[in-house]
Amino acid sequence: MGAVPGPFSVNDRCIDCGTCWQFDPLHFAPTGSSSQVIRQPEGEAETRQALLALQACPVAAIGTTPELRRLTPSDGFPALVTRHAAGDVYYCGWASRRSFGASSWLVVRPEGNVLIDSPRWSAPLARRIAAFGRLQALVLTHRDDVADHQRWAKALGCSRWIHQADADAAPDAEHQVQGSAVVALDGALQLIPCPGHTAGSMAVLLGERRSVLFSGDHLWWRPEQAVLVASERYCWWDFQEQLRSVERLKELDVAWLLPGHGHAHAFAPGEWRAALEQTLAFN
Ligand code: SF4
């Protein structure tokens, strides 16, 4: 399918990060090396979604008319993904080129809100996040997705967590996770070391039953084949260690997988373990 001409288009600045077609698959799709508009938005709701994809793009590769651009919502991000008993989860948009367009997530909960990986710095987004209440922590899942962490921490007064093995990417982070032991930020949020993609990769688990797992670049969902992907191609450290880290996640009861790159996915009861076993068997 070729690009559909009209007011929205993708130019050659595209870095093929996937942000637009993961957020708005109705209007954007990958070409294999870039992204293209596969349907021009019709009506208010579709136009809003395409404008938010434009706002989320880390390199301003999506263009539209000045008239439409003026309609870009100021309240689009954070965008609600799911409500969990342990906290409401939002996608932050505003992807950063410095983390190759990785997704970042906000958990809103009574114990203090937590940002998972760093969005591109944006004063409007910072005001929106602050309006949700006190930001307790910024958890950096691994060295690739730290983006503008210093600016976020300073502006919102939160402490940062990173694994010691990736800590040179954020040497002034207030907390370092050591070794392979799970760290409970508090009762409802755990940091799980998952070495492999990088030496200091971590996943973040929200809730104990029907949990939300923020996987960084450790695991993501590929909808075309309906499989969980642990990628050897995009493994920067030790793929066998990454598979051992995948194995350790089998006992979890995951309802939502929210990765840094690749698609998010909701799992029915029992599907998580079966999907992980399929991934391990394939590798
Ligand atoms: S968000 Fe921007 S850079 Fe990323 S795939 Fe879409 S157009 Fe390309």
Domains assigned to the chain: 9-62 (3.30.70.20), 79-282 (3.60.15.10)
Reported as a pLDDT band with limits 50, 70 and 90, residue 2 is confident
- Atom 1 of ligand 1: nearest residue by CA position: 57
Among 58, 142, 52, which Cα is nearest to 101's? Answer: 58
Give Cα 10 to chain centroid, integer Å: 22
pLDDT in tens, 149-208: 999 999 999 999 999 999 999 999 999 999 999 999 988 999 999 999 999 999 999 999
Q: According to DSSP H, which parts of 39-141 are helical?
A: 43-56, 66-69, 123-131
- Atom 8 of ligand 1: nearest residue by CA position: 14
Find out whether the beta carbon of 29 lies less than 6 Å from any atom of ligand 1: no
Rg over alpha carbons for the chain, rounded to the nearest Å, is 18
Find out whether the beta carbon of 50 lies less than 6 Å from any atom of ligand 1: no
What is residue 186's predicted lDDT score, i.e. its pLDDT?
Answer: 87
Amino acid at 115: L
Tell me the percentage of the chain whose pLDDT exceeds 90. 98
Reported as a pLDDT band with limits 50, 70 and 90, residue 253 is very high
Q: Cβ of 267: how many Cβ atoms within 10 Å?
A: 20
Reported as a pLDDT band with limits 50, 70 and 90, residue 283 is confident
Pocket probe mutation, ligand 1, options 57, 77, 96, 263, max atoms within 8 Å of Cβ? 57
Distance 63 CA to ligand 1 centre (A): 11
> Averaged over 133-138, what is the pLDDT?
97
Query: Would strands 175-177 and 159-163 be described as parallel, antiparallel, or unpaired?
Result: parallel
- Spatial CB neighbours of 283, under 8 Å, sequence gap ≥ 6: 230, 232, 239, 243
